[in-house]
Structure 1
């Protein structure tokens, strides 16, 4: 099984580097987006993780990519959300999409690995994609993975540049290697600009307990403790739990928050926006769109596609100009060094 080479510039859009949190630029002539993509009627199935569309984070980024594909590539799409947080619930969501004739089927999140392994072997004629896992080695499964450590490096640098106390915090949803990539990059970026910075780290749960992605009350309690311990910038990579951490930060004068996956400044309530320094952008939307586009073009082999700074896969947002603008020159310098390979962000704490 070959490793699939990512199209850095998709035919349907000219992508900008995500270092400044910019969104893809769509050509004025949208007919170019579907030119040459064939006449096959494509029905895409999207299986979200718990929380589904509307989580203001990971699922919503996948939904944005699907929405863009519906508009630009003229596909039909159906969405499903598991009824339970276990393999049986995820298996049900996948089978619902498969049984109704959807192909490709995209699974949002590594927790689909067991269910997807089963259905992929049972339905070799269907192309599947899974986000955040590359352990399934099957000819009909595409892995969409990201360089989260690079984006986290940049927001870690932003945290240290912004901090007055010299103490910053990282809250992870579940203590797994994927979330440790966020932690490692964040700490390294912070120490790059301030070697003396203290990075407080805490996870909400550990396997087999994955409740850390949906426990905002616990995240709020942990964030409150970090703030009391001197932290004045907190980065939460914890799915829906991040909302609790944001509430704690907003209640602490002078503290700021760093979001994850999507530009959380854009989705936050107006009273919370002023404390959001930036967000680590994980461009799941680009990954979903480009995978659907590849399928339409006939590229249906299994393999791995990695999204990093060079492919507009990760970055940081700049919506809150009042806070982020003074830091941007240094962050852009670091972004270029990561892009060029002069800095290699770590993937392990």
Structure 2
């Protein structure tokens, strides 16, 4: 039945397109990588588009990491605790010509390219404090690691003090803690955080807020905080959404997690391309596609264009935008399990 539905869906896509064109340019499908015989579920951390233009993603469960190219899907670093395995992976990023994976609790493993795969090269530790530190995203820039996550600094009966961005030197020594804030004790730490950069400008975002925190990579300080233009189809999360809730039913927390990922316009991916900060959110509005790509000018953060699309944004490199077709596998029932669509954008002259 599912295959019949997917065939009908594909016919609809070919007839209508998976996205709505935007004023001011042409967002065009240029290629499709079809590996529909492979089961690829929800990604952990931001996928990486490597130097060859392939997608490197960590997958939930025991599949491990995968390299998705036009020709094939290659698995490496399976779930496990050996040197070449990954256990409880939290984040990944490009590191010089290699890829860095961060395991809980803050063990960094470096993998290097060899033939058509990646192999273990070295490892180190990010130094952490007394409390556990859950990292959701990281980047390496200006010889420093920038990590985004909820790091408790001090915990009381009613409030917690936490830092959302931490900076480490290349060897893993903590240099600075930024964006220190006070939160109610007992909140869940499941929200995602996003880091990307343009030259030495680091951009940090929290999934529930259309606001950019700009950080100077060299000075290691927040230089500005910019509230972004909110589109009319944006559905904000409730203010108390992350407060801890005790569920009597067995699957209560997982049901809430699914509601979180499908019922609000949380930020799903952040990247920099074509002179813009590119953000994907889930949309809610009449005659809307499933998601929207929001393009904010990198110089003044004005909303330059919006593209409605049913595909799930994986990342971008050299002007090419990579997507899973028809949504996020694991949350969107009609999403294709391993079909990657590639798009390019051209400005109108």
TM above 0.5, yes or no, is no
Give the alignment's TM-score, normalised by structure 2: 0.29
Q: Which has the higher contact order (CA 8 A, sep 6+)?
A: 1
Larger fraction in strand: 2
Give the alignment's TM-score, normalised by structure 1: 0.29
Larger fraction in helix: 1
